[in-house]
């Protein structure tokens, strides 16, 4: 550390007094001696003078010891203390006179400014200032000395100082005045605040980062006091999500964002010790307008200026929860559809047996007999059962459909006359068909069935009077729409909506609207399969169906069907009349014994030679013994060996026999995909004419090997 440099120090008052006393003492002592030796018989005046001199001589040492010496020691101590402070002060200390000339500097000042301490003394203080400040300083000093106008005296200010190398740096300056006799000195205490400025800037940067992370975060963030639950801060995303302003948030507590009935759960949640300082959960929150929505909440403990707080991340998951609900509903509907399809399969086997047996009995009974009428009743009941299984299969998406390119507006326009007959005159029917020539790939019967079911439900929802609107439009579904409607795909669609002004449904009813056998109608009115059938048929068309309703506001069912390319529409053809049998051999493979017997009777009665097997394995064994088989009629789903596996085994053995598949799962994708292309398929339950027609068609078709042999 460089030594401090001092200017010539002025005479100390204590030292001057001591010198004066010494001179007086010496003079008095000399006068006393002179009077004693030169005037032994002096007058009383002389004696008094001598006595006074003696008294001064006696008192002066005491005065020196008791007053002067302590004062001198104190002055020395003050000087040593001042020198010690100057030498060991952490801040720079610079003293100037009224001319602005540096009188003293300490080592810190020399080091801070980069000058030699001795070289600084006697130089103007402007050497430590920037040029602009250097030029202004003399004027400030003159005005203070003349009028007392203060610029920096007795004030703490931050200014910019100048080092010897020309670099500048921020300092905190505090100047005070010291008057010594007639001299006026000014002492400046200077502190380098470069590090403090850097720390403050770092703090500002940190606060700015916090502001950007907190205020600019797209996720709603809230800060609250865990002791009082009062909010301390809220970011912009929270303001948008909840509808409160920042100032309003500061007047709220965490309980104010919950529905009243959920507050006990919140308090219980807050009493539960957090895991690793983190609390998580899904809760219902309430906006300023009173609407309630679901949020996923994660809160973390943190320290804010020495105050314990918790940072809350509140993510609105209403849309996600709705998609999850839709997914669960779709999965449930799929599971119920699987069950319904399985039931329909077994039921179709029974119905095929009943219908076939009843038709055989009818053919053998005389017209007008009471027994024949009973059998006709059985046939009619079985027909109704077949209709019911068709609805179950439509719901389970296993109903066989024939797709063609259809102009939906044209189809609905023609079908409007049928709809008019379904509803009473008290209900106004409006057709708002705006899809133009837009086409969909659809089964016309299925579309008509969808509309029939929706119109029937709308009619029943308006027992008095009302308005029924059937509307269409072409619409492109975008990614945003599809994200909010699970099961939809982006692209061009034709939208069919059926809207009524009836009583509407509440949320609990809406959640069950597609469930099989669920109905809001009185007992005995409806089967509860109408909307289930709509759901299944729409899914088979790769579409999406949505229901919007509220009590007292009517119901709107919206069906989205993908747009199809414009192709010629298929024309319906009359089924050909089967030609008589010519003694062909048929192998009937059916695992249901009653149905197998009934089908065998029908075929045998029509002139065919019939062999039967209970499953694919038995059929293979029989075919090994009977090579001359013209047609194999086989069920698809059987124990041990199913129909697909049976035909595959026959082809591997080189048997190119004709095949007719039959199943109670009509048109199911996972079955039809593995069947041979072009193989005829007969849906259960079938009637005797349908069976005979399908058999004749299959027999009249060239065997698989015949075409290749002809080409060879």
Mind listing the pLDDT tens digit for each residue in 21-37? Answer: 666 667 666 766 666 66
Do 440 and 415 belong together in one domain?
Answer: yes
pLDDT, tens only, 444-483: 878 888 888 888 888 888 888 899 999 999 999 998 888 8
Do 557 and 432 belong together in one domain?
Answer: yes
pLDDT, tens only, 184-232: 899 999 999 999 888 888 878 877 777 777 888 889 999 999 889 999 9
Q: Which of 663, 602, 600, 658 is nearest to 630 (CA)?
A: 658
Q: What is the torsion angle, in degrees rounded to the nearest 10, for the CA atoms of residue 347, residue 350, residue 356 and residue 360?
A: -150
Contact 451, 416 (CB under 8 A): no
Q: Rounded mean pLDDT of the chain?
A: 80
Asked which of 77-91, 166-180, 678-692 is least confident by mean pLDDT, the reply is 77-91
Do 276 and 424 belong together in one domain?
Answer: no
What is the pLDDT at residue 301? 86
The more confident residue out of 295 and 277 is 295
Do 278 and 386 belong together in one domain?
Answer: no
Residue 574 domain-assigned? no
Do 70 and 102 belong together in one domain?
Answer: no
What is the pLDDT at residue 271? 83
Tell me the average pLDDT across 396-423: 76
Residue 499 domain-assigned? yes
pLDDT, tens only, 70-98: 666 655 665 665 565 666 677 899 999 98
Residue 115 domain-assigned? yes
Which range of residues forms the domain containing residue 19?
13-86
Other CB atoms within 10 A of residue 17 CB = 16
Query: What's the CATH number where 236 sits?
Result: 3.30.450.20
Final residue before a domain boundary, out of 26, 53, 86: 86
Packed helices 370-395 and 530-540: angle between N→C axes, nearest 10 degrees: 60
Residue 569 domain-assigned? no
Do 412 and 511 belong together in one domain?
Answer: yes
Residue 7 domain-assigned? no
Q: Which of 346, 341, 384, 380 is nearest to 362 (CA)?
A: 380
Compute the half-sphere exposure of residue 216: CA atoms within 13 Å on the CB side of its CA.
7
Final residue before a domain boundary, out of 378, 395, 412: 395
The Cα 44–Cα 48 span in angstroms is 6
Do 227 and 164 belong together in one domain?
Answer: no
Final residue before a domain boundary, out of 192, 211, 244: 192
Compute the half-sphere exposure of residue 518: CA atoms within 13 Å on the CB side of its CA.
14
The more confident residue out of 573 and 378 is 378
The Cα 693–Cα 682 span in angstroms is 10
Do 462 and 520 belong together in one domain?
Answer: yes
What is the pLDDT at residue 169? 94
Tell me the average pLDDT across 411-430: 83
Query: What's the CATH number where 604 sits?
Result: 3.40.50.2300
Q: What is the torsion angle, in degrees rounded to the nearest 10, for the CA atoms of residue 339, residue 455, residue 399 and residue 492?
A: -110
pLDDT, tens only, 225-276: 988 999 999 999 999 999 999 999 999 999 999 999 999 988 888 887 776 7
Do 166 and 261 belong together in one domain?
Answer: no
Residue 633 pLDDT > 90:
yes
Residue 567 domain-assigned? no
Do 557 and 656 belong together in one domain?
Answer: no
Packed helices 318-364 and 593-605: angle between N→C axes, nearest 10 degrees: 50
What is the pLDDT at residue 669? 42
**Contact partners, residue 684, CB within 8 Å, separation at least 6:** 345, 348, 349, 351, 352, 662, 663, 664, 666
Q: How confident is the model at residue 573 (pLDDT cuts 50, 70, 90)?
A: very low
Q: Which of 81, 154, 162 is nearest to 128 (CA)?
A: 162
pLDDT, tens only, 319-333: 887 777 766 766 665
Do 701 and 630 belong together in one domain?
Answer: yes
Other CB atoms within 10 A of residue 145 CB = 13
Work out how many domains the chain is built from and give that number. Answer: 6
Residue 548 pLDDT > 80:
yes
Do 425 and 540 belong together in one domain?
Answer: yes
Residue 576 domain-assigned? no
Residue 101 domain-assigned? yes
Tell me the average pLDDT across 688-704: 86
Q: How confident is the model at residue 181 (pLDDT cuts 50, 70, 90)?
A: confident
């Amino acid at each position: 550390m460089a030594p401090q440099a001092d200017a010539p120090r002025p005479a100390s008052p204590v030292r001057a007094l001591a010198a004066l006393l010494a001179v007086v003492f010496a003079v008095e002592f000399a006068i006393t001696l002179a009077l004693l030796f030169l005037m032994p018989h002096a007058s009383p005046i002389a004696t008094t003078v001598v006595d006074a001199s003696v008294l001064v001589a006696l008192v002066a040492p005491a005065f020196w010891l008791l007053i002067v010496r302590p004062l001198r020691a104190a002055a020395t101590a003050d000087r040593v203390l001042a020198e010690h402070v100057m030498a060991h002060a952490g801040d720079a200390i610079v003293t100037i006179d009224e001319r602005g000339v540096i009188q003293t500097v300490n080592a810190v000042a020399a080091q801070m400014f980069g000058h030699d301490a001795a070289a600084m003394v006697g130089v103007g203080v402007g050497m430590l200032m920037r040029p602009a400040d250097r030029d202004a300083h003399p004027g400030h000093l003159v005005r203070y000395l003349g009028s007392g106008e203060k610029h920096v005296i007795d004030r703490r200010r931050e200014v910019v100082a100048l080092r010897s190398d020309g670099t500048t740096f921020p300092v905190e300056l505090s100047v005070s005045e010291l008057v010594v006799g007639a001299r006026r000195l000014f002492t400046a205490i200077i502190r380098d605040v470069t590090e403090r400025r850097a720390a403050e800037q770092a703090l500002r940067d940190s606060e700015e980062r916090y502001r950007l992370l907190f205020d600019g975060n797209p996720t709603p963030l809230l800060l609250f006091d865990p002791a009082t639950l009062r909010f301390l801060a809220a970011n912009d995303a929270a303001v948008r999500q909840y509808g409160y302003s920042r100032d309003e948030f500061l007047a709220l507590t965490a309980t104010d964002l919950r529905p009243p009935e959920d507050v006990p759960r919140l308090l219980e949640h807050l009493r539960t010790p957090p895991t690793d300082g983190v609390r998580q959960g899904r809760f219902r929150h309430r906006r300023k307008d009173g609407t309630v929505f679901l949020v996923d909440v994660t809160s973390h403990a943190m320290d804010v200026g020495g105050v314990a707080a918790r940072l809350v991340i509140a993510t609105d998951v209403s849309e996600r929860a709705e998609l999850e609900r839709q997914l669960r509903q779709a999965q449930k509907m799929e599971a119920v559809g699987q069950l319904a399809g399985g039931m329909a399969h077994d039921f179709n086997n029974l119905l095929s047996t009943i219908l076939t047996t009843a038709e055989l009995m009818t053919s053998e009974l005389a017209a007008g007999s009471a027994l024949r009428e009973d059998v006709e009743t059985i046939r009619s009941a079985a027909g109704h059962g077949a209709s019911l299984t068709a609805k179950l299969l439509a719901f389970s998406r296993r109903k066989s459909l024939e797709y063609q390119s259809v102009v939906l507006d044209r189809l609905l326009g023609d079908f409007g006359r049928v709809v008019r007959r379904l509803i009473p005159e008290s209900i106004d029917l409006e057709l708002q068909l705006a899809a133009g020539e837009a086409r969909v790939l659809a089964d016309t019967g299925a579309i008509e069935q969808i509309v029939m079911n929706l119109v029937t439900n709308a009619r029943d929802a308006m027992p008095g009077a009302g308005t029924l609107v059937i509307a269409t439009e072409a619409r492109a579904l975008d990614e945003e729409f599809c994200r909010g409607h699970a099961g939809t795909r982006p692209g061009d669609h034709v939208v069919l909506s059926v809207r009524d002004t009836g009583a509407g449904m509440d949320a609990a009813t809406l959640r069950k609207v597609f469930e099989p056998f669920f109905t809001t109608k009185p007992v005995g009115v409806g089967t509860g399969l109408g909307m289930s059938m709509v759901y299944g048929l729409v899914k088979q068309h790769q579409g999406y169906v949505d229901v919007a309703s509220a009590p007292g506001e009517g119901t709107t069912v919206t069906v989205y069907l993908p747009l199809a390319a414009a192709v010629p529409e298929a024309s319906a053809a009359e089924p050909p009349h089967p030609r008589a049998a010519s003694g062909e051999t048929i192998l009937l493979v059916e695992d249901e014994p009653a149905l197998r017997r009934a089908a065998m009777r029908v075929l045998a009665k029509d002139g065919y030679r019939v062999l039967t097997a209970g499953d694919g394995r038995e059929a293979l064994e029989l075919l090994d013994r009977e090579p001359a088989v013209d047609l194999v009629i086989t069920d698809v789903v059987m124990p041990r060996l199913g129909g697909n596996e049976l035909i595959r085994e026959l082809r591997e053995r080189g048997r190119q026999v004709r095949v007719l598949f039959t199943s109670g799962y009509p048109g199911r994708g996972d079955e039809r995909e593995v069947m041979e292309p072009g193989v005829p398929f007969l849906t259960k339950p079938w009637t005797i004419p349908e069976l005979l027609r399908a058999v004749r068609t299959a027999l009249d078709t060239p065997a698989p090997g015949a075409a290749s042999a002809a080409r060879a």
